[in-house]
Amino acid sequence: MTKGDIADGKMSISSLPEVEPAPATPMLRRRSEDVHYEADLVERQGWLQNMINQIPDFIYAKDLEGRFLFGNHAVVVNNGLSHLKDLVGRTDFEFLPSDVARIATEVERRVAETGQPHFGGEELAFRGDGERWLMITRVPLRDASGTIVGIVGASRDITEQKSAERRMRSQSYLLEMIARGTPLPEVLEELARMIAEFAQGVHAAVLTITPESGQLRLAAAPTLNEEYRRRVNATFIDMAVMDLAVTTKALKLAFDQADVSELDHECQCLAISDTDGRVEGVLALYSSEGARCRPGFSDFVSIAVYMAGIAISRHRAEARIGFLADHDPLTGMANRAFFGSKAHPCNADS
């Protein structure tokens, strides 16, 4: 039987003619490449979105009406939302106080109208947990034809940095006061005032130990009333035996009886020591349950306690030097210089 013959009405498979596969047409190749390109593009877009969502900075885009087109995960969470779809189409006026939103909207409008980016502007934003400082950059958002269709913004939280700068300025100012020889009551008054300004719902009082009696006496309490001052100075607190628990209880009672606030305040006392480690006073902090402290508040309080110790040490040293200038260092009795300075001018003429 020859190739192509039929036996019993059947054709052998081996006898089928060999057929060359048809070459792929350019259209089929292009379609295959497009499918792979689109799949690759979708994957890359997924990477990009995931990468942006991992960044802690706030990254967003808005249209010309100020409506959100996009926001990374930090923006969504910062505005109290759970999903991006809940953010898209909304404006700052739905999340921020109107005056703050108005300022942001005006800056973004200028960027969109002029096409000029706005780099590194520092803005104060408020949230329920207190103030927040942001460094914001805004640039125009353009479509494929180059037409401005909105803005792209990136914000970084610099609250901690601003707080650190404020602490450094306060520390420098206190050191300057001490170096200038500012009277101790003025230094301690300014110190207590700075502490109160670093938090809402917090009062600060500085008490020093009188060398003669060894008792605590109020030196500064700028945000507390006269009744508090009267009650504290009428309270006998002997520091011969250092017991901060007893001191705290006594100062808490004085605060409550002075009717400083309708809110209940906790009292915390920190010992103020001089450069030799000797206790020279106490810093009393009164904080309400809803007190809101700026970032770095605890660090500033620690600095303030240290500064108070330096100020008191300098005051004690100056008083000691002044005493030794007019008294014998061994007996403590007044010397000729003392009597000479106290002599009547008429005696000097005679």
Given a cut of 50, is residue 6 above it in pLDDT? no
Whole-angstrom Cα distance, residue 122 to residue 133? 7
Higher pLDDT, 132 or 222: 222
- Put residue 272 in one of left, alpha, beta given phi > 0 → left and psi -120 to 50 → alpha: beta
Pairwise CA distance, residues 302 & 324, whole Å:
33
- Which of 3-7, 312-316, 318-322, 335-339 has maximum average pLDDT? 312-316
- Would you say 99 and 93 are in contact if contact means Cβ atoms under 8 Å apart? no
Considering the entire predicted model, what is its pTM?
0.62
The tokens describing 75, both together, are 């923006």
pLDDT at 10 over 70: no
Task: Look at residue 160 and tell me whether its pLDDT is greater than 50.
Answer: yes
Distance CA(295)–CA(253), nearest Å, equals: 29
**340, pLDDT greater than 90:** no
Q: Which of 14-18, 318-322, 332-336, 337-341 has the highest mean pLDDT?
A: 318-322
Distance CA 207, CA 106 (A): 49
State the Cα–Cα distance between residues 138 and 128, nearest whole angstrom: 25
- Give the model confidence (pLDDT) of 82-106 as tens digits: 999 999 999 999 988 888 889 889 9
pLDDT tens digits, one per residue of 211-250: 777 888 999 999 999 999 999 988 888 776 668 898 999 9
- pLDDT (tens digit, 9 = 90+) per residue, 249-261? 999 999 999 988 8
pLDDT of residue 330: 59
DSSP 22: P
Tell how strand 265-273 and strand 279-293 pair up: antiparallel
Residue 120's pLDDT is: 81
Rg over alpha carbons for the chain, rounded to the nearest Å, is: 38
Pairwise CA distance, residues 287 & 266, whole Å: 5
pLDDT digits (tens, 9 = 90+) for 268-303: 999 999 878 888 999 999 999 888 887 788 888 998
Helix (H) or strand (E) holding 134: strand 130-142
